[in-house]
Amino acid sequence: MKNAISPIRKDNYPEWYLQVIKNAGLAENSPVRGCMVIKPWGYSIWENIQRILDRRFKDTGHENAYFPLLIPLSFLQKEAEHVEGFAKECAVVTHHRLEADGEGRLLPSGKLDEPLIVRPTSETIIGEAYSRWVQSYRDLPILINQWANVMRWEMRPRLFLRTSEFLWQEGHTAHASQDEAETETRKMLDIYEEFVRDYLAIPVVKGEKTPEERFPGAVNTYTVEAMMQDLKALQMGTSHFLGQNFSKSSGIRFKNMAGEDEYAWTTSWGVSTRLIGGMIMSHSDDDGLVLPPMIAPKQVVLLPLIRKSEERAKIMDYCRGIMQLLSEKTFGGEKVRVFIDDRDIGGGDRFWSNVKRGVPVRLEVGSREMDAGTITVGTRDKPAGQRTVEPKDKVIDEIADVLSNIHSSLFNRAKELREHNTHTISTVDELKKYFSASGKSGFAICYSDPYEHSASREAILKELKVSARCIPFGMQDEEGECIFTGKKVRTKVIYARAY
């Protein structure tokens, strides 16, 4: 049987990824290099992500606010590592108007005294505000989140995964003690893990980034890492403990309870539209997008099968009745999102269009089903051709279970893939073999000392095109030999090829 997406995964994974996006109508490249247009179907996945995370942030005491898009160059320079990390990918505003030259061509005019950077992240501009807001320990903690667009100029953009402009949330908090800031950093990482697991149906490894992979300016960066179907790693979200680095460079100082001056302890944490890329690469198949039900813009599509025009009114009425009953059911604490697709296109096209855009449950209803009191059911976690005929009432009554099973089936499949492709590696030779020319590999767990610089380790990783994904939590108990240096260490690191 021919697949709906060409090429299929095993023939050309990167191109398959782009074709899934195109066929689902999620997003497209814009004429502005590296910037994407997020189309309604893709944007409504983002709206769901926003709604759910926003609720979690507010439940944990955070408020939203909004800070300027443009950051003065001098602000970015206040933290040396920070500006170094972002200097190569900054969109720079240098003029504030356009003026016609002698030949009527419009040119930039009104040169600014100081260049302004389109925010790549907002630590420095938010730090400036906090430095004014915080005077006493009574002003702390500040727990603020911002939903915003950011810009990091990409030379090799890729829809959702790596775009010059992307949408994200960035939490920025300031605390009176190191302990409280560290707790916040870990709490937000846990929220990311739960969200990715419970809504995107993706298992993650939680851990600490190695020094080389830390956010520029952070004392510690924590990450949730997932494995895609091509066995590469994708960083799904990060949470940074910034220590006093940014509070010192921004001057966020407060009088503590003893009346002494102290610098605040700050954190930042973010997830972006990249999550959508991770969701696509985790679950989609050779017939297109597969949406985890919790995040799907629509969870159930009703496909009326109208063979003669005189049947139309009757079948449509019948479908509307089913829709009504289904939309009163709840799944995951929200009403089931159901719609009828009666677009005036061929039945086959309508069927495949809903497969390709990943609607979790397809219910086909024609005169045969109507007469028999049944519905032909297909779920997106199974091959498109695999359908079962079920009693109508059963389908309606059990819709939440069906959706829940799809979620579990997607999660378990992703988890099995990861487990099958995670290996403990004990020598550099093994590591080289593991990341051999075939390109297929996975996660390599190795004893390694990530805190000590090793030129040979860096050279080996570079040669293999592999990077340290994280120092995973909960694996740092026994002692072993660092595969690069032979030194006794207690730290394990996951190495992988990554997006």
Any contact of residue 156 with a copy of itself (CB under 8 A)?
no
Residue 268 φ/ψ region, left for φ over 0, alpha for ψ in the -120 to 50 degree band, beta for the rest:
beta
CA angle 316-319-325, nearest 5°? 145
Stretch that binds a copy of itself, among 7-15, 116-124, 322-330, 400-408 (CB under 8 A): 116-124
Among residues 45, 140, 151, 228, which is the contact residue for a copy of itself, using CB under 8 A?
Answer: 151
Q: Is residue 177 near a copy of itself by the rule CB under 8 A? A: no
Q: Which of 52, 118, 234, 280 binds a copy of itself (CB under 8 A)?
A: 118
For a copy of itself, the closer of residues 115 and 347 by Cβ is: 115
Q: Where are the alpha helices (DSSP H) in 374-465?
A: 392-397, 399-420, 428-434, 455-464
Under rule CB under 8 A, residue 55 binds a copy of itself: no
Instruction: Report the residue number, 148 or 475, with the smaller CB distance to a copy of itself.
Output: 148
With binding defined as CB under 8 A, does residue 439 bind a copy of itself? Answer: no
Q: How far is CA 350 from CA 16, 25, 234, 461, in A?
A: 21, 14, 33, 47
Site residues for a copy of itself, window 338-377 (CB under 8 A)?
Answer: 344
Q: Does 144 bind a copy of itself (CB under 8 A)?
A: yes
Number of residues lying near a copy of itself (CB under 8 A): 61
CB 12 → a copy of itself: shortest distance, Å?
Answer: 24
Q: What angle do CA 384, 390, 393 make, to 5 degrees?
A: 130
Q: Which is nearer to a copy of itself, 149 or 467 (CB)?
A: 149
Amino acid residing at 199: Y
Q: How far is the C-alpha of 298 from the C-alpha of 363, rounded, in Å? A: 13
What x-and-dash track marks residues 69-98 binding a copy of itself by CB under 8 A? xxxxx-x-x-----x---xxxxxxxxxxxx
Whichever of 2 and 105 has its CB closer to a copy of itself, that residue is 105
Work out whether 116 is an interface residue with a copy of itself (CB under 8 A). yes
Q: Please check whether residue 361 is in contact with residue 406, taking contact to mean a CB–CB distance below 8 angstroms.
A: yes
Q: How far apart are CA 464 and CA 467, in angstroms?
A: 9
391 binds a copy of itself (CB under 8 A): no
Question: Cα(402)–Cα(398) distance, rounded to whole angstroms?
Answer: 6
**Taking a C-beta distance cutoff of 8 angstroms, is the pair 296, 337 a contact?**
yes
Angle of CA points 79, 85, 89, to nearest 5°:
120
Nearer to a copy of itself, 66 or 455 (CB): 66
Find the shortest distance in angstroms from Cβ 498 to a copy of itself.
Answer: 23
Minimum CB separation of residue 195 from a copy of itself in Å reads: 20
What residues are paired with 446 via a beta bridge? 493
The DSSP-derived string for 254-292 is EE-TTS-EEE-EEEEEEEETHHHHHHHHHH-BTTB----
- Candidate residues 4, 20, 53, 125; the one interacting with a copy of itself per rule CB under 8 A: 125
**Dihedrals phi, psi of 386, to nearest 5 degrees:** -85, 105
Using the rule CB under 8 A, which residue among 4, 36, 196, 315 binds a copy of itself? 36
Q: Which residues bind a copy of itself (CB under 8 A)?
A: 28, 30-32, 35-40, 43-44, 46-47, 63-73, 75, 77, 83, 87-99, 106-108, 110, 115-118, 125, 128-129, 138, 144, 148-149, 151, 153, 165, 167, 344
